[in-house]
């Protein structure tokens, strides 16, 4: 091989090694983390592997319904305070999304994560496996548990967490935001964000446990409204072993506001 050809091959290899990944949203198997102006994405294994995990005792775990549970993990206050410092994060208008392997995407405000109540845990100390056998597959690799005195609906308990995203709220929800909506439509959007978007995407924004509700057809375009209202309040009345749980703190008026929001969004589809 000529000397010139050897030099050309070296130059091509150099530029190939410097080329950026085609998918800047994804986290690689090696645990690298992605950063851009409006979003930080962290691989959960990469985060926890860098920390000394403590044994944490929870008086009552409201998901497993078991008392005095001992887990290996780290407090959210410590972990997110460290992320804020290391990445110079201004938490104004920021939200943390916990992405789970089943498609659930829990959205948690920073103020909750910076209290003494939250823990990211990756092992049940008393289990034979990483977790008890009946939940091991679902809970691996990580679980967000809270030390709270009563089961409060404003706390999310996501498990099977694989990634954490820190997002700008205005950017994250821009395609789900009801532009030019009435006051009731915006109230419906607020309820939808709190109760529904962790499972259901709208204009491709949100979790993917449940179906997309707007694109290409809005759910109000093929469901009768009276059935839709009834289904949201009591899914088991319509479907045996429904994946959608009954949401006990939703009032009839809340449901009507959600549907008003969904109707508005049927005229604002993003493909």
Cα separation values, 62 from 50, 69, 150, 214, Å: 28, 11, 8, 33
Question: Please, what's the b/e burial string for 207-242 (b: 16 or more CB within 10 A of its CB; e: otherwise)?
Answer: bebbebbbbeebbbeeeeeeebbebbbebeeeeeee
**pTM for the predicted model, two decimal places:** 0.83
- Nearest Cα neighbor of 242 from 192, 199, 213 is 199
Superfamily of domain 173-265: Cupredoxins -  blue copper proteins (2.60.40.420)
Q: What is the pLDDT along the chain (271 residues), one digit of tens a residue?
A: 444 344 333 333 333 333 333 333 333 333 456 655 457 999 999 999 999 999 999 999 999 999 999 999 999 999 999 999 999 999 999 999 999 999 999 999 999 999 999 999 999 999 999 999 999 999 999 999 999 998 887 899 999 999 999 999 999 999 999 999 999 999 999 999 999 999 999 999 999 999 999 999 999 999 999 999 999 999 999 999 898 988 888 999 999 999 999 999 999 999 8
Q: Are 193 and 107 in contact (CB under 8 A)?
A: yes
- Cis omega (within 30 of 0) on the bond before 231? no
Listed by start position, the domains of the chain span 34-171, 173-265
Q: Where are the beta strands (DSSP E) in 147-268?
A: 161-168
């Amino acid at each position: 091989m000529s000397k010139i050809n050897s030099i050309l091959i070296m130059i091509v290899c150099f530029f190939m090694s410097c080329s950026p990944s085609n998918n800047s949203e994804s986290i690689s198997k090696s645990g690298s983390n992605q950063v851009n102006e409006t979003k930080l994405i962290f691989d959960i294994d990469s985060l926890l592997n860098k920390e000394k995990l403590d044994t944490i005792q929870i008086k009552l775990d409201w998901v497993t319904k078991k008392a005095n549970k001992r887990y290996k993990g780290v407090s959210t206050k410590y972990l997110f305070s460290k992320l804020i410092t290391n990445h110079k994060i201004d938490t104004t208008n920021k939200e943390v999304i916990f992405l789970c392997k089943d498609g659930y995407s829990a959205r948690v405000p920073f103020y909750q994560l910076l209290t003494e109540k939250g823990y990211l845990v990756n092992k049940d100390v008393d289990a034979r496996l990483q977790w008890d056998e009946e939940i091991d597959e679902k809970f691996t690799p990580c679980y967000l548990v809270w030390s709270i005195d009563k089961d409060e609906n404003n706390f999310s308990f996501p498990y099977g967490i694989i990634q954490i995203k820190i997002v700008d709220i205005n950017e994250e929800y821009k395609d789900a935001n009801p532009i030019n909506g009435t006051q009731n439509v915006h109230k419906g959007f607020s309820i939808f964000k709190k109760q529904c978007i962790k499972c259901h995407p709208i204009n491709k924004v949100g979790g993917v446990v449940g179906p997309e509700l707007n694109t290409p057809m809005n759910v109000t375009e093929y469901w009768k409204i009276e059935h839709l209202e009834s289904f949201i309040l009591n899914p088991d009345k319509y479907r045996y072993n429904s994946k959608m749980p009954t949401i006990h703190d939703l009032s009839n008026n809340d449901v009507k506001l959600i549907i008003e929001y969904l109707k508005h969004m049927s005229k604002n589809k993003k493909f």
